[in-house]
Amino acid sequence: MRKTLLIVIVLMAGIATAEVALTLGRYGDSAPGLLPDGTPTRGHSYETRNPYVNRTFSDATINIVVFGGAWVFGLGCDTDETFSAILEKSFAANDPPVRVVNLGQPDFTSAEVAKTFPRMLARYKADAAVVMTGLTDAVPLLLKDDYFARRPFTIAERGSLDVVRLVRLYGTLRFAAMVHGGGFKRASETTFKARYFPMEKTQDNLLEIGKRAARLRVPVVYVTFPRNEASSWLHPHYPIYNERNLLIRTTAYNYNAKLLDLEALMHPLKTPEYLLPWMRWPHPNAAGHAYIADNLRTELIAAVPGLNL
């Protein structure tokens, strides 16, 4: 009888602890106010965030085209909260008018960016381009399906404790132990060594982008990514330490282009107020997008004639 009672008490304590953890960590809940904008639609497709997809551009405006993946798209934020939208608003008083085209798409690698780059420059009569690509290339093959934007949000029932949420919590805590215990560092020498794209391919794609921009005489601002590091025990970030930022810096240097080094400016552990804490890998929140837009504005003013302070 005592043994049974002890088991019941232990189970109840475990359930209570798990419920507290689920409540405090909000694990399984998406941030409020995101649906329908900023979340995957049915079938894991995404609405375009380019307000000019059906517009014809002319030389009467200053046209800035922004290329990249989920960071440029603004995964987890509303369309008007993305740094592309904020950037355009910041130039609202500029004469001639400024148009900022957001071509970001979740899952886009440097290969897709390089492929569409010259065509989109011509399509939108670009006076400047912003390129933020390369991080997706670095995703370990074993994490590709989880890391990519196919499953960025985990929306579960609120309130009640169920088996699904317990399983998810167990998986998260196990993953957190691996992250904080240095498991990824050890695994990087074996299973996680294989990357979605090798460094050489990312380098070729970035150099092709630089070559096309130089040939067309379109100034480019290259943007690096903050380092991905664990944020908390309940919300660990995939620690994809990679050298893609080095390739981005090298490309900017080789083509004498502008560089916005977010790796130096937005360290996830030093500036957590700029990131969405409930996503499994770092993406900027509205404040983070505003911060990027502010810094990007300075680089563009220095690169593009006709942009006013």
**pLDDT (tens digit, 9 = 90+) per residue, 120-134?**
999 999 999 999 999
76 in a structural domain: yes
- CA torsion 48-52-53-55 (nearest 10°) is 160
> What does pTM read for this prediction?
0.78
Q: What angle is formed at CA 234 by the lines to CA 9 and CA 108, rounded to 5 degrees?
A: 145
What residues are paired with 140 via a beta bridge? 195
Among candidates 226, 222, 199, which has minimal Cα distance to 210? 222
Lowest mean pLDDT among 27-31, 74-78, 183-187, 230-234: 27-31
266-300 pLDDT tens trace: 876 677 788 876 666 678 889 999 999 999 999 99
Q: Report yes or no on 291 lying in a domain.
A: yes
Mean of pLDDT values over 66-76: 90
In a domain, 243, yes or no: yes
| 183 alpha carbon, distance to own chain's centre | 24
SS (HEC) of the chain: CHHHHHHHHHHHHHHHHHHHHHHHHCCCCCCCCCCCCCCCCCCCCCCCCCCCCCCCCCCCCEEEEEEECHHHHCCCCCHHHCHHHHHHHHCCCCCCCEEEEECCCCCCCHHHHHHHHHHHHHHCCCCEEEEECCCHHHCEHHHHHHHCCCCCCCCCCCCCCCHHHHHHHHHHHHHHHHHHCCHHHHHCCCHHHCECCCHHHHHHHHHHHHHHHHHHCCCEEEECCCCCCCCCCCCCCCCCCCCHHHHHHHHHHHCCCEEECHHHHCCCCCCHHHECCCCCCCCECHHHHHHHHHHHHHHHHHHCCCCCC
Average pLDDT over residues 197-206: 90
CATH number at residue 180: 3.40.50.1110
Residue 16 is predicted with a pLDDT of 53
Domain contains 309 = no
Structurally, how many domains does the chain consist of?
1
> What average pLDDT does this structure show over 191-206?
78
Q: Which domain holds residue 50?
A: 2-303
Please report which confidence band the pLDDT of residue 96 belongs to, taking 50, 70 and 90 as the band edges.
very high
Q: Is residue 31 predicted with pLDDT exceeding 70? A: no
Angle between helices 163-180 and 2-25 (to 10 degrees): 70
C-alpha–C-alpha distance, residues 25 and 152, integer Å: 17
**308 part of a folded domain:** no
pLDDT tens for each residue of 207-262? 999 999 999 999 999 999 987 665 566 666 665 556 789 999 999 999 999 999 99
Of 295 and 197, the structure prediction assigns the larger pLDDT to: 295
Highest mean pLDDT among 24-28, 35-39, 95-99, 233-237: 95-99
Give domain status of residue 244, yes or no. yes
Six token digits for residue 232: 């908390």
